Structure 1
Amino acid sequence: MYASTSSCKTVHDLMTMPDALRSLSPRSSVTDIDWPPVLTRDAASLFALLTELDRTPSLNDDEFAAAQGRQLQALARHASQQSGYFLERLKRSGLNADDLCHPDSLRALPVMTRQEVQANGATLACAQVPESHGPVHETGTSGSLGQPVIVKRTGITQLFWNAFTVREHRWQQRDLSARFAAIRADLPSEGARVDDWGAPLNLLYRTGPAFALASNRPIDDQIAWLDSIEPRYLLTYPTNLSELLDRWETRGHGLDGLAQIRTIGETVTDALRERVHAVLGVPIADTYSSQEFGTIAIQAASDELYHVMAENYIVEVLDDAGEPCAEGQTGRVIVTDLHNYAMPLVRYETGDYAQPGAPGRGPRGLPTLRRIMGRKRNMIVIDGTRRWPSLNAHRYREVAPIEQYQIVQTTPETIEVRLVCAPLTRAQEHELGDIILEALEHPFRLTFAYYAQRIPLGRTGKFEEFMSLVA
């Protein structure tokens, strides 16, 4: 018996329905093959890796550490044969490649700084890379205080980056059929619409449309653009988000239909999370990443911890003496990439500061970070020591309608206060200065600079509310 036309239509309707179950099933790579999906090439590799990553919670602690150790040793053996500078690091430490056989064994190898990578990049890079690791490419970081770093990466490192990107979408349980908007640097200033959320997600899933706008557009233009497209998810920088919140608060309502905000590139404070919840009633999902490594840690919908992507990285948080930090203690972030066979970044000091989570593995079978604090340049220098500054920023509008601010330590004893507002009177400058100095707890000499619209962004398109130029 053949199915009737009406019954065939019903089946087709069910197949194309954008329900939650279907959005989590991979799309077929082969034209006109819908079920079961047939995955090829990049999609097949990505799905296979995601399937393996799903096994992480089933490993016990010994199995997990042993797996990391095996991959660390394999990397060390390759790097000792192909990277002159890595071999030199081993010899200086009295080690050979096989000594790096467990995550704890890394402690015997001194930390590698950004300056070392800059000075020794040519000999740190591997002379040969296995062909199976895919093409080698270079990526550059802007670097703090003008210290760019060039890093070589491979197709395999990109595969892991892609897998962790998809994992983050899964863990956040997003509705992939919804509208997604991004406001960040290097996007079209006039705005753009594309049919899906882009790579790597579109390799595996059908999604709704995505919209893009440059973050240097005036905030009022951004508000109007967001109102016109009504996205369910918005990705942007924390400082840009703060300005959007100012406008939404002023007009008395936020963005209709918004379910979540994704933040990138800058530090997310507890105050910003609370403000977003108060104004918009939605959560923030943050990602910790870098150009050198890709996605290092992600958050899940179930908690606010940063879960380290430890299948690809060994992440240490160390104090000034080089010892592991206790839970909640702020320290330097040191990262080892287990799969970069083009340039061995082993115990590389990122320049970031963070607080580790509880010892061991967290609720998703991975080590955790409690908080990403920022970079060294976001710490103030007082009497030769660095500390995280308090700015009392919530009180600035008690003095004047300040639209934007930036506090910059230009010398050990001088602070420049950059403001977007009408120039303050001498009395207002003194009043604002008292608020700032009370928070900083040091008698800095203050200077004031005024901007008509927005304070210029940094070289990477990011904005920092506090920055120290003191080495």
Structure 2
Amino acid sequence: MPRSSDTAQTSQDPNPPNIYQKFAATLSRTEWLSRADLDSYRNHLLTRLVTFASAQSPFYRERLKPLFRNGPEPNLDAWSEIPLLRRSELESDIDRINPVQIPQDVGAVSTARTSGTTGAHAEFRTCMLARIAAEGMMYRHYCWHELDLTAPMASVRFYSSSQRRYPAGITEQNWSAVRPGATHHTIDVREPVGDIIAWLAQRAPKYLLTFPSMMHDLAHHPDADVVAQLKLERMIGISEPLIPHIRGVVEKRFGCEIAQIYACAEMGCIALQVPGDDHYLGCEETVFLEILNDDGEPVYPGQTGHVVLTSFYNYATPFIRYEIGDYATLAALPCPSGRELMRLQRINGRSRSALLTLTGQRIWPNEIPLSEIAALLSSPRFQIRQPDKSTIEVIFAAEKEKQPASQQELGALFARLLGGNIVTRLTPVDDMTRTAGGKRELVISIAH
């Protein structure tokens, strides 16, 4: 935790670095630690966190007993015995999860809430220390991808207030707490795509931060040339998994790379895309990232498993072994950069983001022939729904003066993909809708 002296100005240094800069400087060193040193760094933070949570949280006092069965010092060898924290428990037991007392040196405490992708929003508390950690990882991402922190950025994302609307949005002078001062234009992702394009043209940002589904909408809009003429130097993807199909379409259309971030409201950054590579490296100095199989054991390289997270720095609402509901695939090979941080091949998404074959195997979006489906539909914007294993419904934005393929052709495609006879329904709509949190899911499967 930061000491009071960390933020105090001294006569020797009239312009000391802010606390965000100090933490970011630490991260610039720790990203090159050996695997053994990373494990030691993690265990030090875990020991401090679980000792605090066991003493101050009624919920964790019981939950963490396996770590303390031999005395007051936690035995992290028993880590796998700690039950996973479920979203339902976060909602029902938040008053018992929250600590009775919060250390003063974690800074100001505020209330936040989950994204609500699969249901109602759940509220939790966060603290300044956790925000410093999250901003430090965002700064790492910006540095990896060589962003100019004095240049203007536009953010098109979900905002809970109704203030960031077209035509004005809100313009601030800060998109990095580590290096503040750059112009930051913001607007809500739920605004019409045409209005967002007009807004971008007026503000001419150098970088655009938004959802991959919004990037896809921009690329296929009749006014996409307006965005292309901005000559964006980088797009930063957030909040949704970035699949190769969307990456290819967007990068080709706008001539700039996408730098993807894997994050969530509860943790901040979880993993960051590596420059020149579509793999991700875990934010291991701020989050303990576990990828577990259905038996609760760590997966092997190349395997896909459940994402389980522990936040090292949120002492206001401790998240310890929190199963967020996502799946990810562990990379088979280490990072070519030489960094020994956990490397992920892919962020797969939620369980409902995968189609189920007739034999119960998951087919993730990166394995679905999306380009072929778009061609058969004569529409690039669609959503695949699977109410049961043998039924597929394709919702698509009908393109004027174009006839979609017959249900028979799409049925044959899904029969090959899912391994048997499939009932396929096509449902044209005027436009594709977003969730209350502004997201759009490519696949929604409730089959089991």
One-letter identity of the residue aligned with 1:465: L
Counterpart of 1:114 in structure 2 is 87
Indicate if the aligned counterparts of 1:93 and 1:110 stay in contact, CA closer than 8 A: no
Asked whether 1:77 is paired with 2:51, we answer: yes
Closer, same or farther: CA 247–465 of 1 in aligned 2, 3 Å: same
1:164 corresponds to which of 118, 129, 137: 137
Closer, same or farther: CA 155–468 of 1 in aligned 2, 3 Å: same
Aligned-pair CA distance for 1:323: 1.8
Q: In 1, distance between residues paired with 2:290 and 2:188?
A: 35
TM-score (norm 2): 0.85
Q: In 2, distance between residues paired with 1:381 and 1:271?
A: 20
Aligned-pair CA distance for 1:78: 1.1
TM-score (norm 1): 0.81
State the SS of the aligned residue for 1:152: strand
1:127-164 C-alpha deviation (Å, 9 max, x unpaired): 11111112322222144532543322222111111221
Counterpart of 1:260 in structure 2 is 234
Closer, same or farther: CA 94–193 of 1 in aligned 2, 3 Å: closer
One-letter identity of the residue aligned with 2:344: L
Counterpart of 2:385 in structure 1 is 408
Asked whether 1:420 is paired with 2:397, we answer: yes
Counterpart of 1:25 in structure 2 is none
1:92-147 C-alpha deviation (Å, 9 max, x unpaired): 78846856454x54223232222232332221211111111123222221445325
1:410-447 C-alpha deviation (Å, 9 max, x unpaired): 34543322111169989723333333343333433333
Counterpart of 1:173 in structure 2 is 146
Closer, same or farther: CA 92–442 of 1 in aligned 2, 3 Å: farther
Aligned-pair CA distance for 1:256: 3.8
2:412 corresponds to which of 434, 437, 444: 434
Q: Superposition pairs for residues 27-426 of structure 1, below 5 Å? A: 38-39=15-16, 44-57=18-31, 59-91=33-65, 95=69, 100-102=74-76, 105-146=78-119, 148-186=121-159, 187-192=164-169, 194=171, 196-201=173-178, 204-207=179-182, 209-247=183-221, 254-301=228-275, 303-357=277-331, 363-383=338-358, 385=360, 387-389=362-364, 390-421=367-398
Closer, same or farther: CA 250–396 of 1 in aligned 2, 3 Å: farther
Aligned-pair CA distance for 1:267: 0.8
Q: In 1, distance between residues paired with 2:192 and 2:109?
A: 38
Closer, same or farther: CA 149–99 of 1 in aligned 2, 3 Å: farther
Aligned-pair CA distance for 1:56: 0.8
One-letter identity of the residue aligned with 1:190: P
Indicate if the aligned counterparts of 2:173 and 2:181 stay in contact, CA closer than 8 A: yes
Moved more, 174-183 or 299-308: 299-308
Aligned-pair CA distance for 1:258: 1.6
State the SS of the aligned residue for 2:406: helix
Counterpart of 2:425 in structure 1 is 447
Closer, same or farther: CA 49–177 of 1 in aligned 2, 3 Å: closer
State the SS of the aligned residue for 1:385: coil
Moved more, 272-281 or 327-336: 272-281
Q: State the aligned residue count.
A: 432
Indicate if the aligned counterparts of 1:106 and 1:347 stay in contact, CA closer than 8 A: no
Asked whether 1:461 is paired with 2:438, we answer: yes
Query: What fraction of aligned residue pairs are identical, expressed as a percent?
Result: 26
Aligned-pair CA distance for 1:58: 5.5
Gaps of 5+ in 2: 1-7
Aligned-pair CA distance for 1:467: 0.8
Indicate if the aligned counterparts of 1:406 and 1:417 stay in contact, CA closer than 8 A: yes
One-letter identity of the residue aligned with 2:63: R
Closer, same or farther: CA 258–54 of 1 in aligned 2, 3 Å: same
Counterpart of 1:16 in structure 2 is none
One-letter identity of the residue aligned with 1:402: S
1:247-300 C-alpha deviation (Å, 9 max, x unpaired): 479869933422111111111112332333333332110001011111111224
Closer, same or farther: CA 74–250 of 1 in aligned 2, 3 Å: closer
State the SS of the aligned residue for 1:346: coil
Q: In 2, distance between residues paired with 1:468 and 1:363?
A: 38
State the SS of the aligned residue for 1:410: strand
Q: In 1, distance between residues paired with 2:320 and 2:386?
A: 32
One-letter identity of the residue aligned with 2:421: P
Q: In 2, distance between residues paired with 1:456 and 1:110?
A: 37
Indicate if the aligned counterparts of 1:391 and 1:440 stay in contact, CA closer than 8 A: no
Closer, same or farther: CA 143–394 of 1 in aligned 2, 3 Å: same
Q: In 1, distance between residues paired with 2:148 and 2:260?
A: 17
Indicate if the aligned counterparts of 2:117 and 2:435 stay in contact, CA closer than 8 A: no
Aligned-pair CA distance for 1:79: 0.9
1:319-370 C-alpha deviation (Å, 9 max, x unpaired): 1122211222111111111222222211111111111235788733522222
Closer, same or farther: CA 398–370 of 1 in aligned 2, 3 Å: closer
Aligned-pair CA distance for 1:63: 3.2
State the SS of the aligned residue for 2:64: helix
Q: In 2, distance between residues paired with 1:252 and 1:135?
A: 42
Aligned-pair CA distance for 1:311: 1.3
Q: In 1, distance between residues paired with 2:73 and 2:420?
A: 48
Closer, same or farther: CA 446–143 of 1 in aligned 2, 3 Å: same
Q: In 2, distance between residues paired with 1:189 and 1:155?
A: 31
One-letter identity of the residue aligned with 1:431: E
Closer, same or farther: CA 339–269 of 1 in aligned 2, 3 Å: same
Counterpart of 2:4 in structure 1 is none
Indicate if the aligned counterparts of 1:249 and 1:279 stay in contact, CA closer than 8 A: no
Q: In 1, distance between residues paired with 2:127 and 2:25?
A: 21
Q: In 2, distance between residues paired with 1:281 and 1:427?
A: 31
Q: In 1, distance between residues paired with 2:436 and 2:361?
A: 24
Closer, same or farther: CA 105–442 of 1 in aligned 2, 3 Å: same
Closer, same or farther: CA 167–439 of 1 in aligned 2, 3 Å: same
